[in-house]
Amino acid sequence: MHTQTVSQLLQGLREKRFSSVELTRCFLDRIARLDGELNSFISVDEDNALAQAAAADARLARGEGGPLTGLPVAHKDIFCTDGLRTTCGSRMLDNFIPPYDATLIQRFRDSGSVLLGKTNMDEFAMGSSNETSYYGPVRNPWDHKLVPGGSSGGSAAAVAARLAPAATGTDTGGSIRQPAAFCGITGLKPTYGRVSRLGMVAFASSLDQAGPMARSAEDCALLLNTMAGHDPLDSTSSVQPVEDYCAGLGNSLQGLRIGLPREYFGEGLDSATGAAVRAALAELEKLGAELVDVSLPHSELTIPTYYIVAPAEASTNLSRYDGVRYGHRCDDPRDLHDLYTRTREEGFGDEVKRRILVGTYALSAGYYDAYYKKAQQVRRLIKDDFMRCFEQVDVLAGPTTPGPAFGIGAKSNDPVAMYLEDVYTLAVNLAGLPGMSVPAGLVGGNPVGLQLIGRHFAEGRLLNVAHRLQQVTDWHLLEPAAGRDA
Amino acid sequence: MAIEQDEIEKIAELARIRIDGDQVPEVTQRITEILAMVDRLQAADTAGVEPLANPLDAIQRLRADEVTESNRREDFQAIAPAVENGLYLVPRVIE
């Protein structure tokens, strides 16, 4: 059962070829057997998962149920789950049991899905390798010496190793797309505001967005149908109507104009990865798409802009962790100041502290105009670059990452080298656009991804392009050794 | 822009994060590297460019001023490190 796609599993459940309890048990057994090495889950609540599965089976037996009834889904440990520990990969929230569900979790419950477990992640989603997690690094199922990417590295590794049929992730600067590329799965970051952020632990509020991670574009579409929509409890949630993301999957690509930003194919891109991406683009060309040379002239300012905007917002958001209302508190505080400073010293890891310090600096008196305001101005220039491209083309395409996954420990002591890993993904968040990573084959035995970028709210178009590509290629069907394990 | 150790200590104080004295040089070095990387921004011509705070240039929507949530103080305080009589406890602030 673990080798089947979401759409196959849903059909099997509806036709009663297997029950949700059997299906959930199958994945729980695989997690118990294989995840000791991978470390892709932080929390698995077997009893609750099986109880939800039994309830789903009862609904299916009555001919009821929602679109995902009985399907086990893993959720990144950034989404609050009522009664189930939500750590965000941090010691600060090691003991945090939320008293409510994130809207995204509620939507999955309403759709009938079974909550399989909570996946490992970089601490507070700050990282590109899953090495900043308080719960230890996740290993890449393709090669255990490599990182799975981050920050949604646990979700990507779990789906790639067939420990879950699908998972959710969040993406502030590439945290769905980069691990999807490194683990050989399909991941979509929707338009800013498309999916509710209520109950999703905040990192950078003008960039954060949740999305699906699965084995195919079709599976991502099925999940996004449940995830997307207005939430009155999130003031930045979009009121734009939601389409049926499965409806247009098969549309023709004849005449589709795909822009290739020349800055994404220049210096810094591994040549074999570039060749893999070009091979994927050639397939799209055969399907009738036209490839067009375009430019995003402010690309070189993307990383500096992001590393002001994101830490500034993070330093503000993370000021809530004060050791008073929930989460970690230091022992025997001498006074209130000692309570705050020692709680935060103990509760946060090194990378989170660095970003809080950079953000505090950028927002502090005397530096605000030079850093924060300047970065917000360049942010507009970066967005305007994209808007100009979309006057000429329908979709943009390029590599998701500069190369395949790197080794565990290779960049963990050099923050700036780590930041450069996200050079092709960050701008999409700054502009609020939907972006997707689609498997594009192997380089040296490890997966790389093709990135697709669309106009605001053009998730359906991206899924359509990815689905058509997956109809004529088999890169998304490649499995790591851990997934082939019976 | 180079940053001095005493500035790091000042920022850490603003952010309410204690840094062990022997770690200050290492933290200063890392932050200096990050600031050197972001300093490329200074060369950008941004004259007359409106800062972008929300990628969709959205504005804050208002809702009717109606009570929609119930009082769940006990649930929320059940996860607090220290509470008493419905109050959050912290070390004595006023002697």
Task: Select from A304, A344, A429 the Cβ nearest to the Cβ of B16.
Answer: A344
Calpha distance A237→A156 (Å, rounded): 25
Report the percentage of chain A scoring pLDDT > 90. Answer: 95
Q: Do A79 and A104 contact (CB within 8 A), yes or no?
A: yes
* CA dist list (Å): A356 to A262, A279, A313, A352, B13: 34, 41, 9, 6, 12
Tell me the nearest-neighbour CA distance from A390 into chain B, angstroms: 15
Q: Do A203 and A310 contact (CB within 8 A), yes or no?
A: yes
A84 CB-contact burial (10 Å; exposed 0-12 / middle 13-18 / buried 19+): buried
Tell me the nearest-neighbour CA distance from B38 into chain A, angstroms: 4
Please report which helix (H) or strand (E) contains residue A294, including its range.
Answer: strand A290-294
| B87: nearest CA partner in chain A | A325
B35-59: average pLDDT: 93
Report the percentage of chain B scoring pLDDT > 70. Answer: 97
Whats the size of chain B, residue-wise?
A: 95
Calpha distance A161→A485 (Å, rounded): 9
Task: Select from B41, B79, B88 the Cβ nearest to the Cβ of A304.
Answer: B41
Mean pLDDT across chain A: 96
Q: What is residue A400's DSSP assignment?
A: S
Tell me which chain B residues have a C-beta less than 8 angstroms from the C-beta of A423. none
Pairing of strands A186-189, A114-119: unpaired
Put simply, the answer to whether B40 touches A300 (Cβ < 8 Å) is yes
Whats the size of chain A, residue-wise?
A: 486
Tell me which chain B residues have a C-beta less than 8 angstroms from the C-beta of A207. 55
Q: Do A468 and A450 contact (CB within 8 A), yes or no?
A: no
Task: Select from A238, A308, A356 the Cβ nearest to the Cβ of B38.
Answer: A308
Confidence (pLDDT) at A94: 98
At A154, list the tokens: 């646990």
Long-range contacts of A144-148 (CB under 8 A, 24+ apart): A144/A37, A144/A38, A145/A407, A145/A408, A146/A182, A146/A404, A146/A405, A146/A406, A146/A407, A146/A408, A146/A446, A147/A182, A147/A405, A147/A406, A147/A407, A147/A408, A147/A410, A148/A40, A148/A179, A148/A182, A148/A183, A148/A405
The angle formed by the CA atoms of residues A434, A438 and A443, to the nearest 5 degrees, is 135
Calpha distance A354→B23 (Å, rounded): 12
Put simply, the answer to whether A357 touches B76 (Cβ < 8 Å) is no
Instruction: Answer whether the bond into residue A235 is a cis peptide, omega within 30°.
Output: no
Put simply, the answer to whether B34 touches A326 (Cβ < 8 Å) is no
Calpha distance A160→A156 (Å, rounded): 6
At A142, list the tokens: 């393709």
Only one residue has tokens 């930003």, namely A261
Put simply, the answer to whether B91 touches A336 (Cβ < 8 Å) is yes
Calpha distance A132→A251 (Å, rounded): 41
Tell me which chain A residues have a C-beta less than 8 angstroms from the C-beta of B58. 193, 236, 238
Any alpha helices (H) in A213-261, and if so which ranges? 217-227
CB pairs under 8 A between A and B: 168
In sequence order, the 6+-apart residues with CB closer than 8 A to the CB of A145 are A139, A407, A408
Calpha distance A38→A144 (Å, rounded): 8
Catalytic machinery residues of A? 76, 151, 175
Pairing of strands A167-170, A210-214: antiparallel
Calpha distance B69→B66 (Å, rounded): 9
Please report which helix (H) or strand (E) contains residue A41, including its range.
Answer: strand A41-43
Confidence (pLDDT) at A485: 58
Residue A407 forms beta bridges with which residues? A146
Confidence (pLDDT) at A482: 62
Interface test with A, best of B18, B32, B40, B50 (most A CBs within 10 A): B18
Task: Select from A322, A357, A383 the Cβ nearest to the Cβ of B11.
Answer: A357
User: What is chain A's pLDDT, residue by residue, as a tens digit (486 residues)?
Assistant: 899 999 999 999 999 999 999 999 999 999 999 999 999 999 999 999 999 999 999 999 999 989 999 999 999 999 999 999 999 999 999 999 999 999 999 999 999 999 999 999 999 999 999 999 999 999 999 999 999 999 999 999 999 999 999 999 999 999 999 999 999 999 999 999 999 999 999 999 999 999 999 999 999 999 999 999 999 999 999 999 999 999 999 999 999 999 999 999 999 999 999 999 999 999 999 999 999 999 999 999 999 999 999 999 999 999 999 999 999 999 999 999 999 999 999 999 999 999 999 999 999 988 899 999 999 999 999 999 999 999 999 999 999 999 999 999 999 889 888 999 899 999 999 999 999 999 999 999 999 999 999 999 999 999 999 999 999 999 999 999 766 655
At A82, list the tokens: 């009522």
Please report which helix (H) or strand (E) contains residue A234, including its range.
Answer: none
Calpha distance A341→B49 (Å, rounded): 38
Q: What is residue B15's DSSP assignment?
A: T
Calpha distance B56→A14 (Å, rounded): 40
Task: Name residues 288-317 of chain A within 8 A of B (Cβ).
Answer: 298, 300-301, 303-305, 307-308, 315
* CA dist list (Å): A407 to A72, A115, A159, A363, B24: 31, 31, 20, 34, 28
Only one residue has tokens 């090669």, namely A143
Interface test with B, best of A380, A418, A423 (most B CBs within 10 A): A380
Tell me the nearest-neighbour CA distance from A354 into chain B, angstroms: 7
Tell me the nearest-neighbour CA distance from B70 into chain A, angstroms: 13
Q: Do A355 and A315 contact (CB within 8 A), yes or no?
A: yes
Calpha distance A293→A271 (Å, rounded): 19
Put simply, whether A456 touches B (Cβ < 8 Å) is: yes
First to last CA, chain B: 43
Tell me the nearest-neighbour CA distance from A272 into chain B, angstroms: 27
Task: Select from A323, A360, A383 the Cβ nearest to the Cβ of B81.
Answer: A323
- Convert the pLDDT of each residue in A226-284 to its tens digit: 999 999 999 999 999 999 999 999 999 999 999 999 999 999 999 999 999 999 999 99
Tell me which chain A residues have a C-beta less than 8 angstroms from the C-beta of B30. 354, 415
Any alpha helices (H) in A161-270, and if so which ranges? 177-183, 217-227
